Structure 1
Amino acid sequence: MEVENISRGEFLTDDIIEVNILPLLPVKSLFRFKSVCQRWKTLISHNILPTPPNIVHYFPVCGKLTFLSVEGNLVGTPDLSLDFIRSGFDMIIASCNGLLAFHHNGRRKFFYYLCNPVTQEMNFIPNLPKTIGLPSMVAGLAFDPSKDSPCYKLVLPILMRNPQKPEYHFQVFSSDTGTWKISRAKIILSSGYYLCSHSRSFYIGGFLYWKTGSSDIVEFNPDGNSVSVIPFEDCMVVKDDIMMGEWEGRLALTIRRGGELEIWIMNEHRQFSKTYSIGIEMIFGDSVIETPLLWPLPCDGGKVVLFQSGMRVFSYDPKTGELKMFMFPDTIPFFRRRYFYFIVYKKSLVPIPKTN
């Protein structure tokens, strides 16, 4: 009887390795497995590890970070102390496909840098050129590691001194050129409304998105240097909370309207449609949850709704009805637990593109 000589590795397809094995391995093991063969090295180094369970929400508290994993699986998450960042940081200003962008104000100058918390790789960005406007803390980070020659672009909206209406220009740093460049694009918003400081940007389908105080959406193309405003429809405007996020590769908005949580998803024509309307009583049943104390959180790219109530964070799957609850870590001082930003972060071993 002949026995076919088949290498064990041939039984494991890329899909099996990437979806069922790599996400469950600790970081040290992933580093070792990069040396097994070129295929594994490429698979590990140049791909965002699939989610769930690796969506992690970061937020700065007292100059430190902590996290909540939506799936409750913390295998392979980065060291939250970030001790390798010697210069410290004041704020996380953007997150995109495994990279975090930081802002730090030191010695009368503020500067920016990127890091991959998993690989502990860092890349400092040259100082921003002098500008007559005020750099915004709601930066945008555009990075697509699936491209053959990936590069990143850090985009800073610059609030100009316009006494009539808020006017924004855009400074763009590209790792391809290693320099800052002022974009030709500029935009003037409705009087009295600015880019929301509590709502971070999202990079989806080649565009960066910010939410304004009037709940309109600013769309910026970091490659084509174009900018536009996507207005809210009248039926979407509410006095309650609105949070921008990502839902299965599309821009999404979570709206709390009275006793309802609504999910609005943008289509290819830049129009929003209400996909889900979820009664809060239906979610919690007989549990005592005060609706005014419930805040929507940014959708993480998957298929669950995220929201916060007091010291608890919830995820809810509108298709299955599954509800999960997560408590804030005890390390967060009680009086600071309402002063934070949630940042959507996807674990990755992608290298930071080098600046030229």
Structure 2
Amino acid sequence: MESKIEEEIIIQEILPRLPIKSLFRFKLVCKKWLDLITHDPLFLAHHSHKGHNRSKSTNITSPSYFSYKSELFFSSDDFYQFKWCKPTFLTGVMDDVMGSTKGLIYGVCSRYRKIFICNPITKHTVYVPNPEKQLILALAWDPYIPSSGFTIVNPIFLREENDGTHNVDVFQFRVYSSKIGEWRDSENATAFRVPRRCLQFRMCQAVYTGRKKVYWSLMRHILWFDIEKDVAGLVECPNHGNFVHPDEDGSFTEIGECDGAVTYNWMTRNGNVEIWLLIEKDNEFEWAKKHTVRLQKIIEENWHVVSEICNGLNIKKRKNAAVALAKRHHVKPLPHSGGELVWFLIKTLNDFHKIFSFNLRTRELKLINEDGAIEPPLYPFMPTLLHCPS
């Protein structure tokens, strides 16, 4: 007896559960599948929804990471670990990607006169004018409500003041809505007691949580802006003095998004990775510690994975390896996006970087990029087949 799977089951139940990498191959099956996987909006939304639920329900995998300088995607399960073909407008340009939100990357091009939003999987790209030629941006969009379009938020420095005790930087936010098709100024400027250079970083990392707020990492503080209410504020990070300061060139970011909340992590001087959640309710914020990952114990248990790198750095004993790496700034935790995996980079003797994942459940340390080195920054990234919103 022969059995045949109905086409409806294949299209609605099987294909949406396949990884991006497999779907690219299945485009070649027939013209109908090609059109479906490439253009059908219902299928694209269904696939992204299934993929999201798979990671959330199993809670085993976490989103991949995207290195635009190395043009690579990294995943612990090899579902979508592959080379990215740069769009032609970024050919030869290395520093124009500003960040990643919900499967889209964004940045500036054409001598900073335009902002681009690109799905690196589908190559679909939209452009927004950048009249102020600004480099500090945040992209907000909800892939489950494509009709809502997207919003770009840009904090602009206005002036420096002194209140008699502290220097105060005054900022105004500019907001672009794709539904309106133009920029607008926020109703009120907000003063922040932070060093002026904080918002002048070339790679000031932004995060969108899906709750009408965008956040920027300012080393010891997190700046937030409410898109609907035009309200902004500043949250002090839960540092207690016993941490390794992040690189001031912005090559590494510390904030991510997990189930609608901002995550913040850093490396302590004794070699621990602390991961915190920013709990928010009615513009009131509270930090809650999510994980403490003891890197020293991880290295001792998985010495065979890192011994070659440590020996190259003249770190011969596994007992003090984590502290030595932390003090030399050779190890950096990556933004945490949920799941059971914690990711971090280790810089080798030649200033190359290797990316590792650690499974909190199995306690397995895994070297992700065995074949070569990567170049930071890396952004959390969950591939999607949805086109960029308009």
| TM class by smaller structure | 0.7 to 0.9
Pairs within 5 Å for 1:1-356: 8-9=6-7, 11=9, 14=12, 17-19=15-17, 21-27=18-24, 29=26, 33=33, 35=35, 41-45=41-45, 48=48, 49-50=51-52, 52=61, 55-60=64-69, 65-71=70-76, 73=78, 75=80, 79-83=84-88, 90-106=95-111, 110-128=113-131, 135=134, 137-147=135-145, 149-164=147-162, 165-193=168-196, 194-195=198-199, 197-206=202-211, 207-213=213-219, 215-233=220-238, 235=240, 238-241=243-246, 243-258=254-269, 259-269=271-281, 270-285=285-300, 287=303, 288=318, 289=321, 290-292=325-327, 293-310=330-347, 311-327=353-369, 330=372, 337=375, 340-354=376-390
Question: Unaligned stretches of 5+ in structure 1?
Answer: none
1:25 counterpart SS class: helix
1:349 counterpart SS class: coil
2: CA distance, partners of 1:30 / 1:188:
52
2: CA distance, partners of 1:260 / 1:87:
38
1: CA distance, partners of 2:80 / 2:117:
23
Say which is worse superposed, 235-244 or 203-212, in terms of deviation.
235-244
2: CA distance, partners of 1:331 / 1:232:
31
- The Cα shift of 1:119 comes to 1.6
Q: Which has the higher strand share?
A: 1
Question: Unaligned stretches of 5+ in structure 2?
Answer: 56-60, 163-167, 247-252, 304-317, 348-352
2:43 counterpart SS class: helix
Residues 90/274 of structure 1: CA separation in 2 closer, same or farther (3 Å cut): closer
2: CA distance, partners of 1:76 / 1:281:
28
1: CA distance, partners of 2:370 / 2:189:
40
1:27 counterpart SS class: helix
2: CA distance, partners of 1:59 / 1:37:
25
Structure 1, residues 305-355: CA drift from partner, whole Å, max 9, x if none?
2211112111112233122113387586xxxx5xx422222211212223x
- The Cα shift of 1:92 comes to 0.7
Equivalent position amino acid for 1:25 in 2: S
1: CA distance, partners of 2:139 / 2:62:
23
> When the two structures are superposed, what TM-score results if normalisation uses the length of structure 1?
0.79
Structure 1, residues 221-241: CA drift from partner, whole Å, max 9, x if none?
223322122223464874534
CA contact (8 A) 1:255 1:296 kept: yes
- The Cα shift of 1:56 comes to 3.2
Residues 22/30 of structure 1: CA separation in 2 closer, same or farther (3 Å cut): farther
Q: Which has the higher helix share?
A: 2
The alignment-based identity, stated in percent, is 19
> When the two structures are superposed, what TM-score results if normalisation uses the length of structure 2?
0.73
Equivalent position amino acid for 1:218 in 2: L
What count of residue pairs does the alignment treat as equivalent?
332
CA contact (8 A) 2:275 2:336 kept: no
2:26 counterpart SS class: helix
